[in-house]
Amino acid sequence: MVTEPDRTTPQEPQPLQPTPSVFNRFSSYIGVLGQPVTVPFRALPGNARGAIWVAIAALFFTVMVALIKSIGDTIPVVQVLLFRQIVMTCTVMPILVSGFPDILKTRHLGLHLTRVVLALIAMTCGFTAVVHLPLAEATALGFAKSLFVTIFAMVVLSEVAGPRRWFAVLIGFAGVLVMVQPGPDGLNFYSVLAVVAAAAAAAVMVIIRKVSQFDRSVTILSYQAILVGFLMVPPAIYFWVTPSLHEWFVMGAIGLFSVCGQLSNIQGFKEGEASAVAPMDYIRLVFATLIGFLIFAEIPDLETTIGAVIIIATSLYTVRAEKRAATTKKQASKPPQ
């Protein structure tokens, strides 16, 4: 039986929740290691704690991407993604086993399948771009996701964007063009892949907003965990390259950092308000710049710097605009006193 969907304006999708046991073990382990730090940390306001967790998640994700970049010239991206998916699926296996097959029941199979395909496009294009672009540039182009979300939300969710938000989106895409640098010789292919990845990731977020009105988070998570792995197997086998011992170790670390990043991100959104902690994700650009310089000897050029500033500024504006719109709609829906 499908319950009546929520008619309020969908908010920014929260990270999918893991099993309480997995999450509690992670939190307990961190708590034991950092006992001298956790006591004053718990005394901080919720938004401050959430922001710190999201910043930690940003570091984990940036290191993960840097590791993909480090072996991307010798190991195919699809093979790396398959191994990463195996590690992440093992993490949520208790959910899949305990709830199977009921957790797969849905009346919106098409949305789930579309989301999985778009997620594959986002990961494959995004990580391929990371391998061939400077780390900071690929990271900055990925932030264009917020701009695409505004457009797709209008089409799929019938959300209304005012002229100011449209102006911010247009300026944001101008920042993208500054970084992609179209010219007489055409576009940078890998920059285009990074933009395609951002658009696909934005579409995934909007579909999650839509399908979460009908299905449980565990159902959404299960389709992601099961189908992405299966769909990655054929291309991974076709392009298979036998890894060295070092490359096996790196791929294992990629999976580990992915899981730690996801768990830290979940904790961040659990501790603080989404609109308050989400902007901390942009610290990934700082981490990417530092790691790119220290590990890959990359120095962002002027175009990358200007484009990144424009994209981040306009993305932050759209986040604030969504918060104001949601607050206004919530107040308008309250019955008069």
> Considering the domain boundaries, does residue 337 fall inside one?
no
> Considering the domain boundaries, does residue 9 fall inside one?
no
> Considering the domain boundaries, does residue 110 fall inside one?
yes
> Considering the domain boundaries, does residue 65 fall inside one?
yes
What the block records as the tokens of 124 is 């494959």
Q: Please say if the pLDDT value at position 9 is more than 80.
A: no
Given a contact cutoff of 8 angstroms between Cβ atoms, the answer to whether 125 and 202 are in contact is no
Cα-based distances in Å from 192 to 128, 177, 185, 188, 316: 11, 10, 14, 6, 23
Smallest CA-to-CA distance from 128 within 77, 169, 71, 182 is with 77
Smallest CA-to-CA distance from 147 within 185, 190, 100, 198 is with 198
Gyration radius of the chain's alpha carbons:
20
Based on the structure, what is the number of domains in the chain? 1
Mean pLDDT value across residues 275-285: 80
Is residue 183 classed as helix, strand or coil in its secondary structure? strand
Smallest CA-to-CA distance from 149 within 193, 199, 196 is with 199
Q: Please say if the pLDDT value at position 163 is more than 50.
A: yes
Share of the chain above pLDDT 70, in %: 79
More confident residue, 48 or 249: 249
> Considering the domain boundaries, does residue 38 fall inside one?
no
Q: Please say if the pLDDT value at position 35 is more than 60.
A: no
> Considering the domain boundaries, does residue 13 fall inside one?
no
Q: How many C-beta atoms lie closer than 10 Å to residue 7's C-beta?
A: 8
- pLDDT reported for residue 307: 87
Categorize the per-residue pLDDT at 166 as very low, low, confident or very high, splitting at 50, 70 and 90: confident
Q: Please say if the pLDDT value at position 199 is more than 90.
A: yes
- pLDDT reported for residue 176: 86
User: In which domain, by residue range, is 116 found?
Assistant: 45-324
Give the least confident one: 55-59, 181-185, 230-234. Answer: 181-185
- The mean predicted confidence, pLDDT, of the chain is 80
Given a contact cutoff of 8 angstroms between Cβ atoms, the answer to whether 258 and 87 are in contact is yes
User: What CA–CA distance (Å, rounded) separates 281 from 139?
Assistant: 11
Q: Please say if the pLDDT value at position 3 is more than 50.
A: no
User: What CA–CA distance (Å, rounded) separates 264 from 57?
Assistant: 5
- pLDDT reported for residue 183: 60
> Considering the domain boundaries, does residue 332 fall inside one?
no
- pLDDT reported for residue 261: 87
- pLDDT reported for residue 324: 65
Q: How many C-beta atoms lie closer than 10 Å to residue 24's C-beta?
A: 11
Categorize the per-residue pLDDT at 206 as very low, low, confident or very high, splitting at 50, 70 and 90: confident
Mean pLDDT value across residues 84-92: 84
Q: What is the pTM of this model?
A: 0.78
Q: b/e map of 174-189 (b: 16 or more CB within 10 Å)?
A: ebbebbbeeeeeeebe
- pLDDT reported for residue 71: 95
> Considering the domain boundaries, does residue 335 fall inside one?
no
Q: Please say if the pLDDT value at position 286 is more than 80.
A: yes
